[in-house]
Chain A
Amino acid sequence: MNYDDAMASYDPVMGLEVHVELGTRTKMFCGCSTTLGAEPNSQTCPTCLGLPGSLPVVNAIGVESAIKIGLALNCEIAQWCRFARKNYFYPDMPKNFQTSQYDEPIAFNGYLDVQLEDGEIFRVQIERAHMEEDTGKSSHIGGATGRIHGASHSLLDYNRAGIPLIEIVTKPIEGAGVRAPEVAKAYVAELRELIKALGVSEARMDKGQMRCDVNLSLRPHGREKFGTRSETKNVNSLRSVERAARFEIMRHATVLDDGGTIVQETRHFHEEDGSTTAGRIKDNAEDYRYFPEPDLVPIAPALAWVEELRAALPELPRLRRARLQGEWGLSDQDMQSVLNAGAVQPILETIAAGAPADQARKWWMGELARRANESGTDLSEQPITPGQVARVCALVAEGKLNDKLARQVIEGVLAGQGEPDEVVAARGLAVVSDDSALGAAVDQAIADNPAIADKIRDGKVAAVGALVGAVMKTTRGQADAARVKDLILQKLGAA
């Protein structure tokens, strides 16, 4: 069966759960630092270790971030809500429960409009966004591939335990049809942009700051009742979100077509081949015995505070993109390339540093995008700053560099040879426009190309390009081409 066959028979319904790790300095319920990469168990205290007698206190920025996210997702903000204990026995939480929210989320009933590749807007309804905390990190020892299966024991680092998380849950996403995988990817992409725009997290999926669970079920066309769903956990890149949804659609369709039934279970996603494999079967054993957290008092955000946060929301990423596309005068396709390359921010910063929009875009989408692509890195990770790119643009505008030399300067900066001006000085790259320096090269070019020189003398000025080219060659590209042209025309009496 292929994807189209599957879609001819079934209608996919998805639910997406995204966890965002907030960029607060401290954990959600204690003052431990959240710095990444610290020594194991160096950022813990009695509260996040769940030691007897310790008491949690809520991080105000955690609550503020949750409200900002809720507002940006067009949610209602609870006037009063509580935390709840989600009880489970697993060593990733030393308390034996996760402090979360249950039936009183801080934000609920919202939506996010996402733009698909052809420009169509799809509205994803949001069920809720609630506050909770991250778990510790386990490593499984003695197994073949670091998996629990076959491990003799496990080691726990609780530095991450207690870092604030916001879990954002969609309502069932219906009506996406064949575009369900694309909608899933576009939703997570838009949500990530939104989170970044709000400044509440860097939302780096590769660093686990944003993680997605893809719940998916199929139902025959025309049936209202949802089919049994699978829950694919920890799908951690945009591409993987799309692949996981697609894989599950195909898997469900194949099982259902063979007259089989889908088991409600969690599934693991495999980056290597885009497949999923069965995990834990979700039976009645999943009973978290939620109850209101007695150690924390309710959160009742004042209306004035909520309105203050609402008024300070940044421009939504989708609207901002449309505005920039207009300002930069780009076609849909060119704007899409800029977005795909992750070039919006670098271009903006380069413009802010004084470069014209078309020049800024030219460098980031040309040399630098190619380099990023070749090395498989992000554009923003290239060892050059927008300020440095803007400086190169300025040198070109001042006539001190031409395009070819500018490219060499960019290369020099990327190679760690310093600021653009230092590279220019060190490599002697400045454009030569001094007549005495150019004179000899011009004379030589005329002497070497008598036939062309005659044409120009006869008034065929267009032929000058060949002589300019010859001068550029002998000066290794450093001559000021406009000045060279003038000099040639002068010498041949054609000016």
Chain B
Amino acid sequence: MPGITREEVAHLARLSRLELQAEELDHFAEQLDVIIGAVARVSEVAGLDVPPTSHPLPLTNVMRADEVRPSLTPEQALSGAPAAEEQRFRVPQILGED
């Protein structure tokens, strides 16, 4: 199985807005490689006749009626927020967009 490269870890870190040091990139590349290698072993036993699955249960069409259920209060909703202002979640300056 192809291993995960240092460049791929750097790319993922950028997408995830994580700042990683050079040594961390190497470290994670190695770790992720082991994890992915372990998961990849599944494909060794799954033949072409076994389609990839996204859900462990053979269910479809689990839906709910369009009926309103109670929401959290704004206080409850904001209780876990690191910062709030004007009853809204306050987040730091957004960069790289306009």
Contact yes or no, A154 B91, CB < 8 A: yes
B interface residue count range (under 10 / 10 to 19 / 20 to 34 / 35 or more): 35 or more
Contact yes or no, B90 A285, CB < 8 A: no
Q: State the Cβ distance, B36 to closest chain A Cβ, in Å.
A: 14
Contact yes or no, A60 B59, CB < 8 A: no
Tell me how many residues of A have a C-beta within 8 Å of chain B. 62
The residues of A that contact B57 with a CB separation of less than 8 Å are 297
Per-position 1/0 for A406-420, Cβ under 8 A of B: 000000000000000
Contact yes or no, A91 B91, CB < 8 A: yes
CB of B50 within 8 Å of the partner chain: no
User: Total number of A-B contacts with CB less than 8 angstroms?
Assistant: 143
Per-position 1/0 for A267-299, Cβ under 8 A of B: 000000000000110000101010111101111
CB of A396 within 8 Å of the partner chain: no
Listed stretches A35-43, A210-218, A312-320; interface member: A35-43
**A151/B54 contact (C-beta < 8 A), A42-B73, A43-B71, A58-B63 known:** no
Q: State the Cβ distance, A163 to closest chain B Cβ, in Å.
A: 12
Listed stretches A45-53, A183-191, A487-495; interface member: A45-53
Residues from 66 to 98 in B contacting A, C-beta threshold 8 Å: 66-74, 77-78, 80, 85-94, 96-98
Secondary structure at the A interface, as helix, strand, loop or mixed, is: loop
The residues of A that contact B77 with a CB separation of less than 8 Å are 41-42, 44, 49, 158
Contact yes or no, B66 A299, CB < 8 A: no
In the assembled complex, the Cα of A138 lies from the Cα of B85 at a distance in Å of: 12
In the assembled complex, the Cα of A87 lies from the Cα of B16 at a distance in Å of: 9
**A156/B88 contact (C-beta < 8 A), A42-B74, A299-B61 known:** yes
In the assembled complex, the Cα of A57 lies from the Cα of B61 at a distance in Å of: 10
**A25/B67 contact (C-beta < 8 A), A153-B91, A299-B60 known:** yes
Of B15, B74, B94, which is within 8 A of A285 by CB? B15
A selection of 23 A-B contacts at a CB cut-off of 8 Å is A26-B66, A41-B74, A41-B78, A42-B73, A44-B72, A45-B71, A49-B72, A51-B80, A57-B63, A58-B62, A139-B88, A151-B94, A153-B90, A155-B86, A155-B89, A156-B91, A157-B88, A280-B96, A293-B54, A297-B60, A297-B62, A298-B60, A301-B61
